């Protein structure tokens, strides 16, 4: 695939099993890989897309007692059960290592059920020296258990192809507010601070404009942080569990090329609609990328 900074010709969406697609890709051809694979939760993941409109005779109550009517637009789901999860992931992660550029990075987004096993697998594939960070994405939304501490974070593992030479654009980091601005001083408080390995970021709002209705959609802000720091304009960004296409949007908005792969027709439909303004090429066969 020819790398270009022109968003109109930089995008590709592929409907296919990702493993055959990865095997057709040239080694060292992509600068950044982010993947958010199924979490192996042992159950079906479902999302209902709805429209909420102000209506005093509506079916739900919102902020300060306002009434709203909801209308179901559609539902999306997939089966998140994998009896041998690591056997499913391993060949895909080995191909990811092969297609990464020498200064490239892989980000694997997973939750607490499989994170520890995935790190051992990644250490084997990349080498322990290539492990750069365990990033914790923390959020505060949804139900709270009364029998254990509620799980309100995901894990994102960062591995560099070469731990001595990798892309890291420190000055491209977004800055965040100080938790105690009075202790930082006015100048520092106004500038904000750079993030640590714990990223506090809200989930995608169920009623916000960013919401696509696709299960497990991740926030654009999280992906833009990764794209801007760990790649350069004109680079190619790959996501082979692409889902709703957040990675593709983050890449295109920041002048990167993108390759999005997913085996779900619903995911490809959502991505095609979401990324339409970038005129991506949509294919349905694992031809050489």
pLDDT digits (tens, 9 = 90+) for 96-141: 999 999 999 999 999 998 999 999 999 999 999 999 999 999 998 7
How confident is the model at residue 105, as a pLDDT?
98
Mean pLDDT, to the nearest integer, of 70-74? 52
Comparing C-alpha atoms, which of 87, 85, 96, 249 is closest to residue 158? 96
Distance, in Å, from the CA atom of 3 to the CA atom of 10, rounded to the nearest integer, reads: 7
Task: Tell me what percent of the residues of the chain surpass a pLDDT of 70.
Answer: 80
Mean pLDDT, to the nearest integer, of 184-206? 92
How confident is the model at residue 64, as a pLDDT?
54
Instruction: For residue 253, give the H/E element and its range.
Output: helix 246-253
Q: Does residue 40 carry a pLDDT above 60?
A: no
Predicted TM-score (pTM) of this structure? 0.82
| DSSP reduced 3-state for 228 | helix
CA distances from 237 to 48, 124, 143, 202, 234 (A): 29, 23, 34, 24, 9
Torsion of CA 177, 181, 187, 190, to 10 degrees: 30
How confident is the model at residue 264, as a pLDDT?
92
How confident is the model at residue 221, as a pLDDT?
95
| DSSP reduced 3-state for 152 | coil
How confident is the model at residue 236, as a pLDDT?
98
| DSSP reduced 3-state for 285 | coil
Distance, in Å, from the CA atom of 184 to the CA atom of 197, rounded to the nearest integer, reads: 20
**pLDDT tens readout for residues 211-262:** 887 777 899 999 999 999 999 999 999 999 999 999 999 999 999 999 999 9
Tell me which range, 10-14, 105-109, 198-202, is most confidently predicted by mean pLDDT.
105-109
Of 174-178, 221-225, 281-285, give the lowest mean pLDDT range. Answer: 281-285
| DSSP reduced 3-state for 47 | strand
How confident is the model at residue 206, as a pLDDT?
77
């Amino acid at each position: 695939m020819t790398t270009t900074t022109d968003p109109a010709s930089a995008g590709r969406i592929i409907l296919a099993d990702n493993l055959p697609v990865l095997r057709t890709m040239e080694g060292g051809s992509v600068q950044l890989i982010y993947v958010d694979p199924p979490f192996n939760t042992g159950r079906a993941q479902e999302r209902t897309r709805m429209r909420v409109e102000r209506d005093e005779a509506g079916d739900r109550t919102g902020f300060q007692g306002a009434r709203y009517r909801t209308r179901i637009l559609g539902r999306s789901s997939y089966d998140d059960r994998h009896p041998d999860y690591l056997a499913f992931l391993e060949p895909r992660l080995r191909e990811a290592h092969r297609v990464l550029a020498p200064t490239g990075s892989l980000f694997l987004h997973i939750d607490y059920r499989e994170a520890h096993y995935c790190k051992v697998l990644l250490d084997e594939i990349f080498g322990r020296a290539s492990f750069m960070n365990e990033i914790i994405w923390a959020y505060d939304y949804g139900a709270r258990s009364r029998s254990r501490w509620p799980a309100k974070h995901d894990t994102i593992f960062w591995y560099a192809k070469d731990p001595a030479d990798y892309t890291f654009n420190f000055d491209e980091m977004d800055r965040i507010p100080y938790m105690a601005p009075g202790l930082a001083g006015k100048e520092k408080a106004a500038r904000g601070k750079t993030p640590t390995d714990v990223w506090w970021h809200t989930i995608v709002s169920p009623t916000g404009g960013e919401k696509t209705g696709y299960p497990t959609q991740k926030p654009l802000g999280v992906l833009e942080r990764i794209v801007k720091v760990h790649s350069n304009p004109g680079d190619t960004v790959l996501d082979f569990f692409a889902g709703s296409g957040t990675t593709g949007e983050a890449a295109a908005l920041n002048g990167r090329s993108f390759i999005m792969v997913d085996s779900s027709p619903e995911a490809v439909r959502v991505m095609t609609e979401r990324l339409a303004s970038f005129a991506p090429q949509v294919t349905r066969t694992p031809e050489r990328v």
